[in-house]
Amino acid sequence: MGLSAARVLAERGHEVIGLDQFGVGTALASSSGLTRIWRLAHPDRPRVRLAKWTVELWGRLEQDTGRQLLLRSGLLWRGGEAESVASALAAEDVTHEVVDEATQRRRFPELGWQPGRPVVWQPEAGTVWAAEALAASAELLQRAGGQLLDGVTVTSVENREGGGVRVVTDSRRFEADVAIVTAGPWASPFLAGLGLEIALAPVLEQVTYVRGGDVPWQERPCVIDVPDDASSFGLYGVPTPGTGYKVGIDEPVRVFDPASDDRSPDPVRERAAVDRVRADIPGFDPTPIRSELCAWTDSPDGKFILDRVGDVVIGCGDSGQGFKFHPMFGEVLGDLAEGATPHADAGCFGVGRFG
């Protein structure tokens, strides 16, 4: 969120300084790793519209940097909320198909069929080269004259009387017209300092790369398999060419500890991921290559938090679904920093919904 906002504001002609505690793409935060999933498929119309806009913004990033950031392989959404996904896509005139067993096997031959569970196919989805995307934004930020300072720990951000902000770090202080706080799993103390009591829940989640085997797994679609009661995001999978097919189970490995740098994978969760691949994608070689942890910060309602309090703009609550919207965050947070009205469909992300 923060890197994208810094890049957008620098390109709009503002003087921008980005303060980063650990560095771009650190494994201690929420945006590390080679890949993420991008998709138009969502169970509500506003997020479908935001996703369509975001894909346009991804295209601009690719054009401006000459980097390929998106791979298109499609998505199969199975189980919970599939009907809502199909309804939202239809209402927004987005190509999709509710598929039968024969069609699913044609799209993803190795994926097992589960009778009685609806499956939606949407072709505009695939892999985001996440590390490349961060490098692209950092490159454009610096090309536009912005600064990025690593190894800086911010201790407080406050609105100044009469306007503007004061940002205090472990080594110096800054005064500016606006500060944008996008502290990920470390966000709660900053929100409290602004008088906001929002129950963020930062956790560590795990993904595992499996071999896939002799089949062309790198060309297979992404998969989202939601429990029928939609109690979680369920199982998800995304091809990572050159490495393996990445799968995750939406269940925290452990609670995030802001004072700990332990990101060692949980072998029990790795075995669980392998077992799910063996059961759900029986045509794949489920042998694990490696597992990785990253931080998710769930908001109380699972939606992003993007708003402005005085001259402090806040962006947090990724709820494990933030990276696909990377360039969108920059535009929305940039508008908030400039005092402009952000995209209409981002209006639901304000803090007012929490009372």
Range of the domain at 27: 2-354
Give per-residue burial for 283-322: e unless 16+ CB within 10 Å, then b.
bbbbebeebbbbbbbbbeeebbbbbbeebbbbbbbbbbbb
DSSP β-bridge partners for residue 203: 255, 296
Q: What is the pLDDT of residue 230?
A: 81
pLDDT in tens, 282-293: 999 999 999 999
Give per-residue burial for 33-64: e unless 16+ CB within 10 Å, then b.
bbbbbbbbbbbbbbbbbbbebbbebbeebbee
CATH for 64 = 3.50.50.60
- Between the alpha carbon of residue 292 and those of residues 90, 195, 259, the distances in Å are 36, 35, 19
Count of domains forming the chain: 1
DSSP one-letter string for 88-135 = HHHHTT---EE--HHHHHHH-TTSPP-TT--EEEESSEEEEEHHHHHH
pLDDT in tens, 92-140: 999 999 999 999 999 999 999 999 999 999 999 999 999 999 999 999 9
DSSP one-letter string for 299-318 = -TTSS-EEEEETTEEEEE--
For the segment 230-236, the average pLDDT, to the nearest whole number, is 87
pLDDT in tens, 192-204: 999 999 999 999 9
pLDDT in tens, 182-191: 999 999 999 9
Helix (H, G, I), strand (E, B) or coil at 263: coil
Share of the chain above pLDDT 90, in %: 97
- Alpha carbon dihedral 129, 131, 136, 142, in 10-degree steps, equals 170
Distance CA 261, CA 259 (A): 7
CA 185 to chain centre: 13
DSSP 185: G
